Structure 1
Amino acid sequence: MSKCLQTKDLTLAYGERTIIDQMDLDIPKGEITVFIGGNGCGKSTLLRSIARLMKPKEGSVLLDGESISRLSTKEVARKMAILPQTPVSPEGLTVLQLVKQGRYPHQSWLKQWSRKDEEIVEDALRATGMEEFRDRKVDELSGGQRQRAWIALTLAQDTDIILLDEPTTYLDMTHQIEILDLLFELNEREGRTIVMVLHDINLACRYAHNIVAIRDREVYAQGKPEEVISCELVKHVFGMDCQVSSDPLFGTPLCIPFGKGRCILKPVGVTG
């Protein structure tokens, strides 16, 4: 397995509270990796540290074998793009102005704005369905439209590695699938490494090559969804009883949680 991102003895903390404890993690190159786990388990914190937005208490993050702390901010931005959970844009910025910011890591006093930059920005707008909103102010958009504008910015950065923290936030079901399909196609067509945090375990199973389940400040399980997702994992990681079956369309694991609801057919094992 070729690795582009690794953590070595990584410990992350907020003050005295340890979030991730001495984690060793290998993220495969050219695949889609999804972090899953309960609320507060450290998924987003781990993603921020990998993106060098949070300094480790101990240990290191390696990018192509080199400690990310030794790289310049611009060098990291040319290799890796991140979409945080709640990004904020300057007031009055249009969608086009926002997406153009994705090209700034590629600019210098020797290399100014070019036709290629323009084409990449247009491709990003088109891919996210934001062409018609290009002249709209970002703060006037709906939550879903705003999220797609930020994803367009991330795509415009044109990096081999894309990190996304809950990219389907604020999106309805149709747009969730559109965005995840878009990321899947980028991976399939261009071999980009995608690392995401997702709350929906079924969507994670459908789109991920590699699942990383986090529990108790460490990696509980890692591997292909069909190899690691089980009733036992869901119980230990999420504290939830469920049945795991096969998705009838994709053959990937499908988690059906137990709980109350209108029941047409009796659940398996229920009598009377």
Structure 2
Amino acid sequence: MNAIETKSLTLSYGETLIIDELDLTLPKGEITVFIGSNGCGKSTLLRSLARLLKPSEGSVLLEGGSIAKLPTKEVAKKLAILPQGPSAPEGLTVLQLVKQGRYPYQNWLSQWSKDDEEAVQKALKSTRMLELADRPVDSLSGGQRQRAWIAMTLAQDTEIILLDEPTTYLDMTHQIEILDLLFELNEKENRTIVMVLHDLNLACRYAHHLVAIKDRKIHSQGKPEEVISCSLVQEVFEMNCEVTVDPLFGTPLCIPHGRGRCILKEVSMNG
């Protein structure tokens, strides 16, 4: 069974068409990354997959069933989303933030339980935030703050995690730290991760499945080595580049041209 599917999904903001009759399948237990130029609809699509945006037409299927027909708390037990640039109330501690991830499991009959406490502690440990649990979120560095939000998402204990540009505004060290954490969650816990990323080389390095979006539709999708080429980068991003092989991981490596006229050149992924 696939994690998420869309059937003729159409998304709009008012009269502005963002996504047009999109058929998409996101594999379960893998890392999928959406790529595309600014304003192409990546974040809008991600929000619709989490039922935060109602489709104009079409549907989203979560593990085979219509997400629109599921109760809100049932959706929240299956799928978690971390939007771009989330903010916490002033003075809220990391522990208090992470506890918010247990909201779907709370009701007037079932208050805070041992399972809730174990989920919170596991999330703090997985994100290496135990020692910072009592620190206010607004006192943390950018990388620490992002780990705190991911810990809250993990405490929700869902098989599917959606993240909108989780490395934005982070320096290179913290970008790799966050992506390594998400990679470990996929490898060790078989979590399905769906992300929007701007950095093509990081997208290629961490994704099992790439989805390139252009002109409100899927331009191409598949394994990074099947998707990334000079022609795709030119068509989707309007940028000339060379594509070679990442010497560390064997994934596609895009080297952008600049400083004047350039000639498209592609180096075979097979050497």
Matches of 1:3 and 1:120, distance apart in 2: 25
Contact 1:211 1:225 in 2 (8 A): yes
SS in 2 for 1:75: helix
The aligned runs of 1:19-98 (5 Å cut-off) are 19-98=18-97
SS in 1 for 2:103: helix
Matches of 2:122 and 2:73, distance apart in 1: 22
**Alpha-carbon deviation of 1:111?**
3.0
Contact 2:143 2:178 in 1 (8 A): no
**Alpha-carbon deviation of 1:188?**
1.4
**Alpha-carbon deviation of 1:145?**
2.2
The aligned runs of 1:160-175 (5 Å cut-off) are 160-175=159-174
Matches of 1:155 and 1:67, distance apart in 2: 24
**Alpha-carbon deviation of 1:191?**
1.3
Matches of 2:197 and 2:136, distance apart in 1: 28
**Alpha-carbon deviation of 1:171?**
2.2
1:122 has 2:121 as partner: yes
**TM-score if structure 1 supplies the norm length?**
0.92
Moved beyond 3 Å, runs of 4+? none
**Alpha-carbon deviation of 1:88?**
2.1
Partner of 1:232: 231
SS in 1 for 2:29: coil
Matches of 1:167 and 1:130, distance apart in 2: 17
**Alpha-carbon deviation of 1:104?**
1.5
Q: Deviations over 1:23-64 (max 9, x none)?
A: 010011111100000000000000000000111111111111
Structure 1, 87-96 or 97-106: larger mean CA deviation: 87-96
> What is the aligned length?
262
**Alpha-carbon deviation of 1:4?**
1.7
Structure 1, 137-146 or 32-41: larger mean CA deviation: 137-146
Contact 1:147 1:169 in 2 (8 A): no
RMSD: 1.6
**Which structure 1 segments of 5+ residues have no match?**
262-266
Partner of 2:215: 216
**Which structure 2 segments of 5+ residues have no match?**
266-271
**Alpha-carbon deviation of 1:142?**
2.9
**TM-score if structure 2 supplies the norm length?**
0.92
Partner of 1:136: 135
Aligned residue type for 1:88: S
**Alpha-carbon deviation of 1:176?**
1.5
Partner of 1:99: 98
SS in 1 for 2:22: strand
Contact 2:123 2:152 in 1 (8 A): yes
Partner of 1:254: 253
Aligned residue type for 1:26: T
SS in 2 for 1:255: strand
Matches of 1:37 and 1:193, distance apart in 2: 21
Partner of 2:177: 178
Structure 1, 154-163 or 86-95: larger mean CA deviation: 86-95
Structure 1, 180-189 or 225-234: larger mean CA deviation: 180-189
Partner of 2:10: 11
The aligned runs of 1:143-162 (5 Å cut-off) are 143-162=142-161
**Alpha-carbon deviation of 1:115?**
2.3
Matches of 1:250 and 1:58, distance apart in 2: 40
Q: Deviations over 1:217-237 (max 9, x none)?
A: 000000000111100000001
